[in-house]
Amino acid sequence: MKSVVNVLVISDTHKNISNAIDVISAKKPDYVLHLGDLADDADDIKHIFPNTEVIGVCGNCDWSSFTNAPTERMLDIGGVKILMCHGHTHNVKSGISVYVAYAREKGVDVALFGHTHNPMLDNMGDIIIMNPGTVNTYGWIEVTNGKADARMCSFEE
């Protein structure tokens, strides 16, 4: 088993995946997590990078999408429990306290959401909360020995 698992987190690409393609090509993450809007973008990335695990959820703009992605997923990546959703079902535009409480109730280590288009990263001690923003920013998570280390990045880096 690989000692470090690299996870790229993106959201709200709205059919603009060129920056994500560049980062995937350069950094070769083990996983790409797409947090919706548009979920079809995750399917497009899967076709371009068939050897990369690409996992997506639906967002509020995916109502007409042909994707069958759920609105929420729970993952275990290298012993780290990750909750991913778009955020609209937890009303994150009005604040993240409801989502944080929900994530804690689920017992996750990392809670990911999008929807607001505002990048944020908060390590609350027991849980990491991340919104990768939109097409100019992304999240990067390194999982080592069951521990997650997360950071926000700009596509211009």
Digit-coded pLDDT (tens) for 76-85: 999 999 999 9
Q: Which runs of E-coded beta strand occur in 95-146?
A: 110-112, 120-123, 128-131, 137-144
Token pair in block for residue 133: 């923003």
Sketch out the chain's domains with CATH numbers.
4-154 (3.60.21.10)
Question: Is pLDDT at 67 greater than 70 in this prediction?
Answer: no
Q: Are 134 and 56 within 8 A, CB to CB? A: no
Closest of 129, 81, 141, 146 to residue 109, by C-alpha: 81
**Conformation bin of residue 47: beta by default, left when phi > 0, alpha when psi is -120 to 50:** alpha
Question: Is pLDDT at 35 greater than 60 in this prediction?
Answer: yes
Q: What is the pTM of this model?
A: 0.95
Of 13-17, 37-41, 127-131, 134-138, least confident by mean pLDDT is 37-41
Q: For the chain, give the mean pLDDT.
A: 93
Question: Is pLDDT at 12 greater than 90 in this prediction?
Answer: yes
Digit-coded pLDDT (tens) for 86-117: 999 999 999 999 999 999 999 999 999 999 99
Distance CA 113, CA 83 (A): 8
pLDDT band at 66 (very low <50, low <70, confident <90, very high): low
Percent of the chain having pLDDT more than 90?
84
Q: Are 19 and 41 within 8 A, CB to CB? A: no
Digit-coded pLDDT (tens) for 117-148: 999 999 998 999 999 999 899 999 999 999 99
Q: Are 11 and 132 within 8 A, CB to CB? A: yes
